[in-house]
Amino acid sequence: MQGSLIALLVTAIIVAVFAVLNAETVSINLLFAKFELSQAVVILLSAALGALAMFLLNTVKVLKLKKEIKQLNKQITAQPTVTEPKVAVENKVNAANATIEKTEINKDEHES
């Protein structure tokens, strides 16, 4: 986060210095109007509009990702749990115990 803030400040300083060094008046022709402005103002307005466009595009991307995360969380909570019912686990334990008892009985018979 601090790195981004430092990069933003350095970029803003570079743009401001560039704008001040280019302070001559320039003619701006739009389809519907023609006017003269300081080149510094044009540079600063262009940089500000570019930053605004990037902010809006990033906001749209973040909102889409948040919506996707919400949908995925709903899918996760809608899925059945993986745990087995208590009766099934008890049956497996009883079967394992029976196998152990049979093994011990067979072992005792061989020792006799």
For residue range 49-98, list pLDDT tens digits in order. 998 999 999 999 999 999 999 888 888 777 766 665 777 777 777 788 77
CB 83 within 8 A of CB 55: no
* Residue 43 in this model has a pLDDT that exceeds 70: yes
Report the distance separating Cα 61 and Cα 67, nearest Å. 10
Whole-model pTM over 0.85: no
Domain map (residue ranges) of the chain: 2-79, 80-112
For 36-47, give one letter per residue: b (16+ CB within 10 A) or e. Answer: eeebbeebbeeb
Q: If we measure between CA atoms, which residue out of 94, 74, 92 comes closest to residue 84?
A: 92
